[in-house]
Amino acid sequence: MALNKQTNIILMSLVIMTLLFLSYKDHFDNGFYFDDSHVIVSNGAIRDLGNIAAYFTDATTFSSLPSNCSYRPIVTLMDAIDYRLAGNELNPVYFHAHIFFWYIIQCVLMFFLFRNIILKAVKHKWSDYIALFAVGWYALHAANAETINYISARSDSFSTLCIIATLLLFQEQKTRKYFIYLIPLVLGIYTKQTTVMLYPILCLYVFLFETKAKTLFDGIATTLKQTAPAGIVVIGIFILNQQYLTPESTVSSNTGVDKWEYFSTQWYIITHYLKNFFLPIDLSADPDFVMINGMMSLKKMFGLLIIVIMLSVAYKCYRQKKTRPISFGILWFFIALLPTSSFVPLFQIANDHRTFFPYIGLVLAVSHGIGLILIKQEFKFLKSTLTRISIIGIIFTALAAYGYGTYQRNIIWSSGETLWHDVTVKSPNNARGLMNYGNALMAKGSYEEALSYFQRTLAITPKYSYAHVNMGVLLGAIGKIEDSEAHFKKGILYGPNNPESFYFYGKWLFREKRFLESKKMLEQAIVISPMHTNAKSLLEQVGLLAGQGVKSGLLFALKNLEDNPNYENYLNLSLAYYNDKNWEECIKAAQKALELNPDDPSAYNNICTAYIQMGRYEKAIENCNKAIELSPNYQLAKNNLNWALKAKQQK
């Protein structure tokens, strides 16, 4: 029997793993979104692994935006490793592969953790199956795709892995005796501070499953004694990080809203998370929930009622040993939500990727409850082959359905256009979603549509710095120079500490050949964000041009080529000719670059754009395709290819 059971577990595990890979098979090319722009794309700190020591001593290495410099050195280290493995390129495949690898490890460890917990409550031959179902449900859950696709959210996924590893090592007496379980705990805290919520979960585990005290007081005392090492580490590191390593510029809470209103609004938000747990069909990468005013709001009262019912169930299940995993799972859910759903208001009221850690408790609670029902009817199942087959069919159909939902979410995350369009549909009042969809439309040349979304964005949030910056970029692209500059200036007015406002205005001034003004803006961007790679790179060019008083980058590029006729200088000359609207010379310089480096896609992309400007769309398409063939993730070439195809159709 043991061999048959072991074989069944292996086969079921292989089925779940196959479903998992099928669900995520197309997600590895998905791009950088949200905070990825400043944590990875423009963050110069991850470009050099020699900065490892700085990752742990200087939180400003985490992001190019001062207000987002959270202290998460393990995240920065992993980003730097992936950047190096990708050949010093921003190739999302390496980032996603790394994240997915640890996700698989987390799911494997969860099986052993769940099995140990279930066996402490019910020693039954089906315990392994219950644990495996719970892990399969979690692994394939569509809501988790919000975290796995969002590269910067590796802080959530990896810290959750560390929490699971800590609990599993704590369960083993040998690793507990030598405090080995503290290693993943420390790694987790240095990945994301919310790992500190492990301590109350650990206390809850010990109290429910390991203490045998006759009184509540004795049980609490025993729990605190057994978890004291973890408590000391958690409290000590948390205070150290918060007081000495987190920059003062970091804005972690929204002081502009009432704490009680935020907390009570979370009662309703929790019902949203619960609905998504069972039926994740309304997931949004950027929800548009707003504060709910008034204590007697029906939404708040409904949410409070659900919470009271759940806590009542947790208390009732605590009273019997066999149902304690249900109690543990429910309380895990609420404890894990505390950092985002308490009296510390966050700027975003809800986010569907926040449930990655809390849903572990729910899958354990619900799966164990289902398992107890099946165990109670064990005789009927053993007696009827049809019943057994039907239940197994229902279970795997449900898992496959969740896997299909995950597959669909991965498609949504496949491009900025599909992701942000989905946000505008599900969260139509989200200004950031509207703006980013406008950016996606602008990138493919749909300027009129993009303009309408930027206008909708500013109608909702008139003082949104990023929206004004993007409006400036768009208006500049369509030749409305005065209006464009006015929006750049508003971007700076409403975002005086936003380096992107100064960077994009400086970039615009550079294209207008106003080099001295551009230099001033870029210098300010770097003062605000010393790790801003794009601003530093452009400033090098602008500084030389401004210093020589040259009105065009062409002379500078020609001089560089004369001094050193290498591939890079031919490519720069090609770009300089493009900026001077000399399309034929742009192509010739790019072709010279290709003679020196035939496998570089940038030269083909330059040729493509020059042919587009000349109206020779077939040649443009041919060269863009060559660029994409050499670099499948070359988004700029993809955008230019779409531009050429659209222009050809309209010709």
- DSSP tag of 463: T
Residues listed for the chain: 651
State the burial class of residue 248 (Cβ atoms within 10 Å of its Cβ: 0-12, 13-18, 19+). exposed
State the burial class of residue 230 (Cβ atoms within 10 Å of its Cβ: 0-12, 13-18, 19+). buried
525: tokens are: 């961007």
User: How far is 199 from 179, CA to CA, in rounded Å?
Assistant: 15
Backbone angles phi, psi at 347, to 5 degrees: -65, -30
- DSSP tag of 43: B
User: How far is 625 from 632, CA to CA, in rounded Å?
Assistant: 9
Confirm if 335 and 203 have CB atoms less than 8 A apart.
no
Give the position of tokens 């929930």: 289
- Residue 71 carries which side chain, given as an amino acid letter? Y
CA angle 183, 13, 405 (to 5 degrees): 95
Neighbours of 224 (CB within 10 A): 13
Pick from 323, 324, 321: which is nearest to 373 by CA?
323
Pick from 551, 559, 615, 556: which is nearest to 583 by CA?
615
* Per-residue pLDDT tens digits for 350-391: 999 999 999 999 999 999 999 999 998 887 777 778 888 888
Pick from 136, 36, 15, 140: which is nearest to 96 by CA?
36
- Which residues of the chain register pLDDT less than 50? 1-2, 548-551
Give the position of tokens 């949203």: 272
* Number of DSSP helices (H) and strands (E) in the chain, helices first: 33, 0
Amino acid 565: pLDDT: 81
Domain 552-651 fold is 1.25.40
Residue ranges per structural domain of the chain:
552-651
Pick from 201, 193, 132: which is nearest to 168 by CA?
201
- Residue 269 carries which side chain, given as an amino acid letter? I
Tell how far CA 263 is from the center of its chain: 24
Give this prediction's pTM: 0.82
Amino acid 209: pLDDT: 95
User: How far is 559 from 408, CA to CA, in rounded Å?
Assistant: 52
> How far are the Cα atoms of 301, 342, 511 from residue 519, in angstroms, in the given order?
56, 45, 12
User: How far is 574 from 610, CA to CA, in rounded Å?
Assistant: 10
175: tokens are: 């690793």
* Per-residue pLDDT tens digits for 87-98: 999 999 999 999
Amino acid 551: pLDDT: 45
